[in-house]
Structure 1
Amino acid sequence: MRILFVCTGNTCRSPMAEALLRKLAKERGLPLEVSSAGVAATEGIPISRHAEAILRDHNIDDVITSQALRIDVVHESDLILTLTQSHKQHVLRIFPEVVGKIYTLKEYAEDDEQVLRDIDELDSLYATLTMNRALGKPVEHQDQERLFEIQQRIPSFDVSDPFGGSRADYDVAATEIRTAIDRIVVKLADQRN
């Protein structure tokens, strides 16, 4: 299975998620290919020093440099995990065909059935509205209302952005990422068995 993490610059959150999942998958014998990219990334930038320090604290010495989100990487991925809802919406605007394989990291780790149904409906509505706008079709008022209703009910699934912050800011983001990844590894192991 190929998993792609997506954030903004691909120097903080998504590289931490990539390296942490790669390590845990290897430890648990899960055959995963893990990579990351950024929606506004410049190619070849090293990860931030705080992100690198956090990975060293987890005994990870992967050399990760930024890469921009590209069509080939998106289409080759079996699962796309974004670090925020806005990253997810950005990817869906460009690649609406990935609607069935894209989630925020925390969404994919979620196990509340009602929340998961709401997320599926929200994604479907968002993809439909985006496609209709692109085709010049009018947006149905009831679809827009339903979208807002679901958005109000769903908890935030964003991982905090530590960019430009202190080591403590990176620790907070890394904890959020690690907590979600721990749940995802269990979920993927269960799916495999």
Structure 2
Amino acid sequence: MKRILFVCTGNTCRSPMAEAMLRSLAQKRGLALEVRSAGVSTVDGLPVSAHAQTALLRRDIKHNNGSTALENGSVTWADLILTMTAGHKRNLLQRFPGAVDKTYTLLEFVNRDEELLQQIAELESLYTDWQMKQALGGQLTSAERARLLELEGGIPSFDIADPFGGPLHVYEQSADEIEKALIKLLDRLQR
């Protein structure tokens, strides 16, 4: 049974919606999955946003869990970690570098454009080099900096916008985007 962890900021909007929707969609397909969610910047026990709950209820899905702070146990538990943004992914990998081979943004994971995925891997490698050089008091070369900027400009955003604090229709848009990605995820898992 595959274990999937969704990660966002506060674990009160996007990742709980993704968790609950994936659990429901997988059950409808008869696919056995274990699904959890967590936040990179939260505490345990905060309630799921009222608008996120409403967006789920409109899909006949309930989610009663409170927020969970991202910790090593969840990262170790997961076979696949899917973040809502590239920033969440970077935050997670800075804290848990051993999770690099199983961590993606949700939209990155369901995108199967191999050339684009190679560019993302190159960009992430440049970010890692940059962080290492900064830690040691160094800098990127001008060629590395130029390539980083070129890659950043050419790669589409794989972020799911944060609906936090917005009106219900913004949560619905977020839920729609997540749901479309989850259908692609299930298609990929069932191949």
User: What TM-score, normalized to structure 1?
Assistant: 0.91
**1:174 paired residue number:** 175
Moved more, 140-149 or 62-71: 140-149
**2:138 paired residue number:** 138
**1:113 paired residue number:** 114
2:86 maps to amino acid: Q
Give me the whole-angstrom Cα distance separating, in 2, the residues matched to 1:33 and 1:128.
35
1:7-156 matches, within 5 Å, as: 7-134=8-135, 136=136, 138-141=138-141, 142-156=143-157
| Cα drift, residue 2 of structure 1 | 1.2
CA contact under 8 A between 2:133 and 2:140: conserved in structure 1? no
2:106 maps to amino acid: L
Moved more, 5-14 or 103-112: 103-112
| Cα drift, residue 113 of structure 1 | 1.9
| Cα drift, residue 137 of structure 1 | 6.1
Unaligned stretches of 5+ residues in structure 1: none
CA contact under 8 A between 2:38 and 2:70: conserved in structure 1? yes
User: Identical aligned pairs, as a percentage?
Assistant: 48
CA contact under 8 A between 1:99 and 1:123: conserved in structure 2? no
Q: 1:111-147, CA deviations, whole angstroms, 9 ceiling, x for partnerless residues?
A: 222111112222233234334444x263441433322
Name the SS for the 2:4 alignment partner: strand
1:108 maps to amino acid: F
Give me the whole-angstrom Cα distance separating, in 2, the residues matched to 1:146 and 1:71.
33
Name the SS for the 1:46 alignment partner: coil
1:158 maps to amino acid: D
What is the CA RMSD across the aligned residues, in angstroms? 1.6
Query: Structure 1 residues 99 and 62 mapped into 2: Cα distance closer, same or farther (>3 Å)?
Result: same
